[in-house]
């Protein structure tokens, strides 16, 4: 064991995550401005999201509904009454001088997400889910005078977010990765966010501490920010855990602080402590009424929840008799699961369809650099192809060629097979005729076969396949060949 690995087993990391998810509403949370990403800077703004004095916020019902969906899918209890609060701090991309968030009365609490840790199921607690507005964006790069000036784009100011806060139940960077993956998948199934990490619609901060393995008391935690990709999340946690272990081993104490992950340098570093900025002087937002959610609204949202990944995985196993691993791989993407089910219905062969989807479809998408949703072959056409292979009207080998042709031309499998005359020949009479012709033309090989050279059989199969331009069903060719060769032995 290396020293680092040895030290790691001496300590137990304790990790809690705060995941921010941008909601896919069309307008912002407290005004009617568009939430569209990529529009010209500051074009989607109004007095409310610019924070002009006297402008009043009005809560977007769609944002609340989406947040409720997320909370219910995370097994949270939705509070009948919650309240918005002002989180006061100064930053150039926050013109009001405060962010409208929720504090002591959040939208929802007491949930959980089940993950798998070292092959075993593990439940991670969700402390709370609350609603808040996003801040604007500071642009420090990409302008001619970026060395002296920063620019502010307030298009993002007021875009609705939910913050999902986990209990400190995660014990390794791998568990943290698995947890965020599950949360992201849930949000995608719910269609409440696109969870695009590059565009910042899913962001993650981590609270990290270490303690000697086997002890109960928590060590001092640091908050690591800027974990804007799954890869960074895992690396940053690994780095921070090792950093804290080294401090404790060296007899020092971990300082409670906020640290930023620097992906270029692959390390975390302490932020200038915002004058111990932890005191945000929260107080209830006086411009908004408390958020009251009645049973009826809650039930309406509950009824609108789609089938979630775990339920879908179990159904695929039950309904289509899929192996566990295949089902898990298919539901790991909603688009892939949708594609699979449509293709399976079209083919009537769910198991073969799963094989073809997980190998051939993923391969072709990978080659083309495309997502499932952009597949050049539609799910029903894909299903038709699988059906033709399953029924034996074309061979698996031909199926792959036909799929390549479908990808290139957008034509259906049946069209291509008809055009090229590719249909597999399974008619025994036609195959027997070809077998006899080959045998008659190959006296030398017949001699060898009779002399006990079993390998010659393969050569005969090849010749028959060639004679039928690859269209003969190879299994039937084998059977007929063996029979005909035996007969010729008896005759000779």
Q: How far is the CB of 31 from Zn ion (least distance, A)?
A: 3
Nearer to Zn ion, 100 or 164 (CB): 100
Nearer to Zn ion, 30 or 460 (CB): 30
Q: Identify the residue among 14, 19, 29, 31 touching Zn ion (CB under 5 A).
A: 31
Residue 133, token pair as written in the block: 């507005």
**Interacting residues with Zn ion between 35 and 54 (CB under 5 A):** 46, 48-49
Q: How far is the CB of 285 from Zn ion (least distance, A)?
A: 17
**Interacting residues with Zn ion between 72 and 101 (CB under 5 A):** none
Helix (H, G, I), strand (E, B) or coil at 49: coil
Collect all residues with Cβ–Cβ distance below 8 Å to 149 and sequence separation of at least 6.
Answer: 143
Q: How far is the CB of 302 from Zn ion (least distance, A)?
A: 31
Cα separation of 304 and 76, whole Å?
16
Residue 433, token pair as written in the block: 């005729």
Cα separation of 261 and 244, whole Å?
15
Q: Is 59 in the site for Zn ion (CB under 5 A)?
A: no
Total number of residues that touch Zn ion (CB under 5 A): 5
Q: Residue count of the chain, please give it.
A: 492
Q: How far is the CB of 267 from Zn ion (least distance, A)?
A: 38
Residue 191, token pair as written in the block: 């269609």
User: In sequence order, which ranges of 250-306 are alpha helices (DSSP H)?
Assistant: 295-304
Helix (H, G, I), strand (E, B) or coil at 226: coil
Nearer to Zn ion, 156 or 182 (CB): 156
Nearer to Zn ion, 46 or 362 (CB): 46
Q: Contact region for Zn ion (CB under 5 A) — 24-32, 193-201, 313-321, 431-439?
A: 24-32
* Backbone CA torsion sign across 313, 315, 320, 324: positive
Listed residue (8, 47, 30) closest to 131, CA to CA: 30
Cα separation of 203 and 195, whole Å?
9
Q: Contact region for Zn ion (CB under 5 A) — 28-36, 127-135, 345-353, 474-482?
A: 28-36
Q: Contact region for Zn ion (CB under 5 A) — 31-39, 239-247, 434-442, 480-488?
A: 31-39
Residue 467, token pair as written in the block: 């004679």
Residue 190, token pair as written in the block: 């719910």
Q: How far is the CB of 32 from Zn ion (least distance, A)?
A: 7
The answer to whether the beta carbons of residues 376 and 417 sit under 8 Å apart is: no
Nearer to Zn ion, 86 or 184 (CB): 86
Cα separation of 162 and 102, whole Å?
10
Nearer to Zn ion, 156 or 184 (CB): 156
Report in angstroms the alpha-carbon separations of 3 from 50, 57, 239, 249: 53, 56, 15, 12
Q: How far is the CB of 136 from Zn ion (least distance, A)?
A: 11
Q: How far is the CB of 174 from Zn ion (least distance, A)?
A: 41
**Interacting residues with Zn ion between 283 and 302 (CB under 5 A):** none
Q: How far is the CB of 157 from Zn ion (least distance, A)?
A: 8
Q: Contact region for Zn ion (CB under 5 A) — 23-31, 76-84, 104-112, 121-129?
A: 23-31
Q: Is 135 in the site for Zn ion (CB under 5 A)?
A: no
E strand intervals along 287-380: 291-292
Q: How far is the CB of 158 from Zn ion (least distance, A)?
A: 6
Q: How far is the CB of 106 from Zn ion (least distance, A)?
A: 24
Q: Is 33 in the site for Zn ion (CB under 5 A)?
A: yes
Nearer to Zn ion, 13 or 158 (CB): 158
Listed residue (455, 381, 376, 432) closest to 408, CA to CA: 376
Listed residue (389, 384, 392, 402) closest to 425, CA to CA: 392
**Interacting residues with Zn ion between 164 and 223 (CB under 5 A):** none
What element of type H or E holds 366? helix 362-368
Binding site for Zn ion (CB under 5 A): 31, 33, 46, 48-49
């Amino acid at each position: 064991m290396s020293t680092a690995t040895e030290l790691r087993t001496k300590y137990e990391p304790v990790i809690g995550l705060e995941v921010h998810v941008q909601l896919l509403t069309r307008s912002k949370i407290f005004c009617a401005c568009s939430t569209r990403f990529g529009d010209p800077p500051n074009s989607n703004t109004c007095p409310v999201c610019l924070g002009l004095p006297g402008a009043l916020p009005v809560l977007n019902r769609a944002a609340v509904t989406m947040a409720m969906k997320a909370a219910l899918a995370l097994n949270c209890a939705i509070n009948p009454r919650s309240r918005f609060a002002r989180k006061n701090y100064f930053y150039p991309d926050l013109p009001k001088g405060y962010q409208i968030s929720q504090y002591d009365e959040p939208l929802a609490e007491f949930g959980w997400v089940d993950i798998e840790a070292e092959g075993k199921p593990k439940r991670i607690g969700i402390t709370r889910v609350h609603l808040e507005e996003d801040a604007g964006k500071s642009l420090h790069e990409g302008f001619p005078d970026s060395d002296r000036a920063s620019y502010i784009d307030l298009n993002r100011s007021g875009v609705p977010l939910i913050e999902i806060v986990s209990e400190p139940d995660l014990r390794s960077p791998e568990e943290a990765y698995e947890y965020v993956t599950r949360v992201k998948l849930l949000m995608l199934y719910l269609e409440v966010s696109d969870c695009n990490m590059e565009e910042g619609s899913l962001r993650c901060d981590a609270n990290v501490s270490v303690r000697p393995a086997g002890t109960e008391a928590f060590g001092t935690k640091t908050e690591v920010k800027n974990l804007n990709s799954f890869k960074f999340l895992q690396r940053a946690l690994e780095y921070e855990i090792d950093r804290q272990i080294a401090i404790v081993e060296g007899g020092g104490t971990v300082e409670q602080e906020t640290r930023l992950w620097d992906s270029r340098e692959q390390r975390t570093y302490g932020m200038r402590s915002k004058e111990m900025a932890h005191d945000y002087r929260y107080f209830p937002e006086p411009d908004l009424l408390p958020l009251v959610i009645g049973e009826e609204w809650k039930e309406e949202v509950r009824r609108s929840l789609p089938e979630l990944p775990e339920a879908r995985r179990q159904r695929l196993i039950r309904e289509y008799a899929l192996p566990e691993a295949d089902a898990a791989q298919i539901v790991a993407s909603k688009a892939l699961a949708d594609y699979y089910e449509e293709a399976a219905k079209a083919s009537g062969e769910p198991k073969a369809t799963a094989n073809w989807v997980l190998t051939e479809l993923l391969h072709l998408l990978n080659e083309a650099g495309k997502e499932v949703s952009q597949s050049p072959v539609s799910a029903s056409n894909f299903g038709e192809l699988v059906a033709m292979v399953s029924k034996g009207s074309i061979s698996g080998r031909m199926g792959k060629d036909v799929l390549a042709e479908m990808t290139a031309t957008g034509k259906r499998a049946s069209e291509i097979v008809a055009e090229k005359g590719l249909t597999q020949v399974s008619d025994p009479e036609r195959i027997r005729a070809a077998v006899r012709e080959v045998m008659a033309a190959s006296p030398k090989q017949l001699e060898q076969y009779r002399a006990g050279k079993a390998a010659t059989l393969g050569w005969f199969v090849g010749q028959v396949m060639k004679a039928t331009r690859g269209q003969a069903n190879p299994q039937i060719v084998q059977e007929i060949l063996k029979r005909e060769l035996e007969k010729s032995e008896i005759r000779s």
